[in-house]
Structure 1
């Protein structure tokens, strides 16, 4: 597999922010800074200046842009670079350990963004996410996370009110949705002043509104997933939310060079830990945590409901594997299965 320096003459590292982006151009063969770091505004005019600046300092050479945050602050820049036919890849931010003793500035981050891809081979590059369907799913997932957080906060507040004021006779258990509906409608007898009971009822109504919003959100997610990749919903343990999280990370065919690349982004690739005669593998704690959460949810569902998974766990347990090791193997298998389904739907 070819290296970056075999395919490109220059790498442009970009550290993205709200108002301005920082750019640095490095020679792919030597990793030395050729131009920059330079700061440009995040505007249409700024992107025109950037593209002209890149052309001026690369002299018609082959250019690869390594951009941080192509799905957030760098989204508009990614669109401008694509329109200018400049290849780009996602640059992962440097870890705290890598910055230790060196410092952190926008200029340093731009150089690090470029150098982060120079050590990779071409097949290890991560293409930016794209597609209108993926963007719709992402918006719905953002709203879902916010609504879930709001609902949890309100449920905790209502539980606290009930326990502190003794609105219900038994305050040992958390409130059920039936009790919350009763408090909201006034059909559940509660003790307390009119102010307390009124506020509790208003809070309960807000919780029910959040629940209705989450139900509608789930329906929308199922509709969009079924329209885009319905075969994903047929897999054991995969629901609308987990399917949407997977599709948002996968984005489009060809984004990942292999199922190992996909597993690495998901944080489920095995990490070897060894010294001397000892060699073990542990879970990967990096990667896309939303995608990792989706695979973890699928694994838990399969462990509870899928006979095939239960038989595999029994076999691996008999082989002496620990529960953590079995979880790692299951997540890796699920990642491989999903990758093959998405990349080659007709052959799975």
Structure 2
């Protein structure tokens, strides 16, 4: 078995192959394109002894924006791909005999981490989870933009008339936006023009978010019946879980999935404090937030597992 570690960047990827005991065999650098990935695959297959064709394990540093295409190309070629988190790679780099930091050193650390660490997350790119990941991330981006625009709009309206908004707390509703637009239409001045432009951005983003909500609902509903049965798990939460988990079968068991979600406790004891545990600060924070939303909802609702707990 040959393990190939990959240090990924926007323009190029560095690969280092190691044998079963972690000794470095060879290294190569290819462009970060599908053609370059095919070159890396041909290079790695040439390192296999005899007619062996399936003795490769690809370990990719988990930098999702830069490693997505590489993972998809390798999976399409029938390869086995595992993800190595950057902090895990850094820990193994510090234990290496070669000092310093470079792309080959990082790729070697990734390969050795994959050999030494069992049950690493397996890369998976099924179409539904990828679509939901893209859609939910795009919606989150729109929500952040809208929140920023609303905050600017509030200050502009406060400067125009501190008493206008009054108790109006939610500016994401169409009714509130139409009221503000009508109020601004009765006034003039540079600040009014700026406030009207910011309001138009808010209204446009609100329409986009609602359109994305409908599209996400159309994708999630046919595939999330089990998730939707969980108290507190709505359409958006289910979409976030499906998009981030990306095929639950890639995890060996529930313990590994819990660790990936950042909800598995870790030991923090010594001597007389044996058995003391705390929540981990690692894991996928998007998944952690989705599960936190479910827990908070259940805590407020009677006759739910979360409320009983």
TM-score computed with the length of structure 2 as normaliser: 0.87
Kept in 1: contact 2:131–2:243 (CA 8 A): no
Kept in 1: contact 2:4–2:59 (CA 8 A): yes
Post-superposition offset of 1:20: 0.6
Alpha-carbon distance between aligned partners in 2 of 1:309 and 1:188, rounded to the nearest angstrom: 51
The counterpart of 2:24, out of the listed 4, 27, 33, is 33
Q: For structure 1, which segment, 62-71 or 124-133, has the greater mean C-alpha deviation from structure 2 after superposition?
A: 62-71
Kept in 2: contact 1:181–1:204 (CA 8 A): no
CA 1:311–1:46: 2 relative to 1, 3 Å: closer
Alpha-carbon distance between aligned partners in 2 of 1:161 and 1:148, rounded to the nearest angstrom: 20
Kept in 2: contact 1:179–1:188 (CA 8 A): no
Could you list the runs of 5+ residues in structure 1 that have no partner in the other structure? 1-8, 314-348
Alpha-carbon distance between aligned partners in 2 of 1:100 and 1:26, rounded to the nearest angstrom: 18
Does residue 116 (structure 1) correspond to residue 113 (structure 2)? The answer is yes
The C-alpha deviation readout for 1:214-252, integer Å capped at 9, x for no partner, is 222122212211122223112100011111111112222
Post-superposition offset of 1:48: 2.9
Equivalent residue number for residue 89 of structure 1:
82
Post-superposition offset of 1:133: 1.0
Kept in 2: contact 1:182–1:188 (CA 8 A): no
Kept in 2: contact 1:184–1:202 (CA 8 A): no
Kept in 1: contact 2:6–2:61 (CA 8 A): yes
Post-superposition offset of 1:195: 2.0
List aligned pairs for 1:156-171, cutoff 5 A.
156-163=151-158, 165-169=159-163
Q: Secondary structure at the match of 2:10?
A: coil
Alpha-carbon distance between aligned partners in 1 of 2:307 and 2:194, rounded to the nearest angstrom: 51
Q: For structure 1, which segment, 100-109 or 290-299, has the greater mean C-alpha deviation from structure 2 after superposition?
A: 100-109
List aligned pairs for 1:61-210, cutoff 5 A.
62-69=55-62, 71-94=64-87, 98=91, 103-121=100-118, 124-163=119-158, 165-169=159-163, 175-177=169-171, 178-186=175-183, 193-210=188-205
Alpha-carbon distance between aligned partners in 2 of 1:250 and 1:240, rounded to the nearest angstrom: 15
Q: Secondary structure at the match of 2:212?
A: helix
Alpha-carbon distance between aligned partners in 2 of 1:210 and 1:305, rounded to the nearest angstrom: 32
Q: For structure 1, which segment, 138-147 or 212-221, has the greater mean C-alpha deviation from structure 2 after superposition?
A: 212-221
CA 1:292–1:201: 2 relative to 1, 3 Å: same
The counterpart of 1:23, out of the listed 7, 15, 25, is 15
The counterpart of 2:268, out of the listed 273, 283, 287, is 273
Does residue 299 (structure 1) correspond to residue 295 (structure 2)? The answer is yes
Post-superposition offset of 1:105: 2.3
Alpha-carbon distance between aligned partners in 2 of 1:310 and 1:258, rounded to the nearest angstrom: 22
Post-superposition offset of 1:297: 1.0
CA 1:255–1:264: 2 relative to 1, 3 Å: same
Alpha-carbon distance between aligned partners in 1 of 2:101 and 2:182, rounded to the nearest angstrom: 55
The counterpart of 1:233, out of the listed 228, 235, 240, is 228
Alpha-carbon distance between aligned partners in 2 of 1:188 and 1:303, rounded to the nearest angstrom: 45
Post-superposition offset of 1:113: 1.2
Kept in 1: contact 2:60–2:84 (CA 8 A): yes
Does residue 13 (structure 1) correspond to residue 5 (structure 2)? The answer is yes
Alpha-carbon distance between aligned partners in 2 of 1:82 and 1:174, rounded to the nearest angstrom: 51
Alpha-carbon distance between aligned partners in 2 of 1:44 and 1:208, rounded to the nearest angstrom: 40
Q: Secondary structure at the match of 1:72?
A: helix
Alpha-carbon distance between aligned partners in 2 of 1:281 and 1:153, rounded to the nearest angstrom: 38
The C-alpha deviation readout for 1:139-163, integer Å capped at 9, x for no partner, is 2112111101110110111122223
Kept in 1: contact 2:133–2:244 (CA 8 A): no
The counterpart of 1:218, out of the listed 213, 217, 225, is 213
Equivalent residue number for residue 336 of structure 1:
none
Kept in 1: contact 2:58–2:82 (CA 8 A): yes
Alpha-carbon distance between aligned partners in 1 of 2:94 and 2:151, rounded to the nearest angstrom: 40
